[in-house]
Chain A
Amino acid sequence: MKNILKYLVVGFIFGIVLTKSEAVSWYRIYEMFQFQSFHMYGIISVAILTGVIGIQLIKRNQIKDIKGEAIVIQDKEKGSARYWIGGLLFGLGWALVGSCPGPIFILIGAGFWTVFIVLFGALLGTYLYGLLKNKLPH
């Protein structure tokens, strides 16, 4: 139970911060891609900066995880086509409906019921990828 609780708490904070920073807002995503505000760029940059420092600290000090095991962060698979094409398609969707996978769930939780349509589309897209996976260049 305690095991589950920590994930719930982390998720809860994630939901609050993404909502209160307005990173879940369609308007903020549009504004970002119009280069009309620094807000979203600031959020993403500081998150990455925090992560770079944190991960370097873990690697250099060989910090163990909560169970006392060595922390290993898997490298992403090598490749190009999947990242360029997949990334491009994702970006088109992200800017169209103004939400990425985390915010889709957060917005539904917040009571924006029409976002269920986006979630349904996202599940359909995930299914489609599963179907076509072996025919696509990676």
Chain B
Amino acid sequence: MEVIFQTWPWYFSGFIIGMIMMSLIYFGKTFGMSSNLRSLCSIAGLGKRVSFFDFDWKAQRWNLVVVLGAMIGGFVAVHYMSDPSNVSINPETIKQLSEMGIDAPNGKLMPEALFGTQILQSPKIIFILLIGGLLIGFGSRYAGGCTSGHAIQGLSNLQIPSLKAVIGFFVGGLIMVHFLLPLILN
């Protein structure tokens, strides 16, 4: 039982994620989460104004069901399968973060300083979350995929365009963490 509550090891988790993609391929579909954002825009009626959203989102309904399942999975994992030993990141990382005013995990998935409900009183943090989301939405559609579509499925299928996108993901991530984040948070 113990293993359910601990952090799941990378080799097991990576294998299951790979198998999830393989299941979707076996169902005749593809692995890609960011496409759902486009479907949601289409459901919101944006297809009347912008042709990019004028497509048959109902053919993508299966992917929205995957997302719904993932949300339920997240709920179950956080509420019934967690343990204070979780998110035991590198002590060096914790030290660095505390210098930027970010609280240590102590079993939490997300820092209070950025995701606690008190941030609703901080226009700065709200703006950070909004801009982060904007970059994710814009970037993934521009690049034609995100971590699932490019990093996992694209690289698994040995696609050069996906390799370019994934290098882009990492360069962007490194710039943010090493140069921009310290400026933003201080």
Contact = CB atoms under 8 A, between A and B. Distances in A.
Interface string B164-186: 11111111111111101100100
Which DSSP category, helix, strand, loop or mixed, fits chain A's interface?
helix
A31 to B, nearest CB: 5
A104 B161 contact: no
A11 B141 contact: no
A120 B130 contact: yes
Interface residues of B, number: 125
A92 B176 contact: yes
B11 A46 contact: yes
A100 B142 CA distance: 14
Contacts of A40: 10
B168 A86 contact: yes
A83 B129 contact: no
A96 B128 contact: yes
A13 B33 CA distance: 15
Contacts of A113: 117
Interface of A: 4, 6-34, 36-52, 54-55, 58, 63, 65-67, 69, 71, 73-80, 82-102, 104-115, 117-131, 133, 136
